[in-house]
Structures are given as structure tokens and as C-alpha cells.
Amino acid sequence: MRKFMKKIMFAGMLALLFLTGCSQNQLSDKFDEENIKEEAMKAIAFFNVRDYQSILDMGVDELKQSLTAEQFAQASDPYLDKCGKFEEIEKTVTAGSENEQTGEHFGGVIMIGKYADGKIQFTIAFDEDMKLVQFNIR
């Protein structure tokens, strides 16, 4: 359990890095907006069929080392069980950020997914190599 909590904390730190340790602004010219949307949709498609390992395979090494597919399932399955079948993405907002300490750029999206019995908000971010650094749901 202690190891699992450590991994969850790491995932949370990635999210905090993206949200607070970075200055948020327009998408950097290092990213193509359509490419970010396509990659995010690919991750959401994996999520919808509960293929969590494929989402992890899209990620940076730190993400792959911090979380297993089983742990991902424990956190994600309740959302899918509650919300039912995926219908469509209702809204998409793209954003960029820069880590002020390292100068590394991130590109991401917030997408609202409509499901048969509810909605799921996805916050998905990529590094400059288009490796997944964040996949949060709520």
C-alpha cells in the first residue's frame, strides 16, 4: 500500500508541475494543436475500452514507472462503471505551459466527454516529444 501511495503522489506531483510550476499561456509553436487533440483522443479511446496499459505506453518513463495498469484500473473503472457508454466529446480547450525552471514546454487539452449516464473531464498533457505526462479524469 505504501508503494501505491508513493506512485499516486508522483502522479499528483506531475499534475502540480503542469498546473502550478509552469506558466500557462497559449500553445507553444513547438506543438501542433490538431496533433495534440488526436493524441488525446487516442488516449481517451484506450480509456473507454479500459486499455490502461496502452495509455501508460504513451507516457514518459516516469509515468510508466510510477503507475501500473492495475492501479490505473482501480482509479478509472469506477468512472466508467458510473458513466456508462461513451457518446462524444462535447468541449475541447487547448493550452500550453512552460516549466519556468527548465524551459521545457508542455501542450495539453481539457476535454469534456459525454457518456450515457454522465460526463468525464479529461486533462491530458504532452511533453515536446509528444509523450504523455498527464492523464487526469474527474
Question: pLDDT tens digits for 20-75?
Answer: 444 456 888 889 999 999 999 999 999 999 999 999 999 999 999 999 999 999 99
CATH of 2-137, one of 3.90.79.10, 3.20.20.70, 3.10.450.590, 3.40.50.2300: 3.10.450.590
Residue 106 has φ and ψ, to the nearest 5°, of -130, 145
Beta-bridged to residue 99, according to DSSP, are 22
Cell numbers standing for residue 88: 462524444
Does the structure show a pLDDT above 50 at 12?
no
Residue with cell 514546454: 105
Q: Which helix (H) or strand (E) holds 117?
A: none
Kindly give the interhelix angle for 69-83 and 2-19, rounded to the nearest 10 degrees: 70
> Could you tell me the pTM of the whole model?
0.82
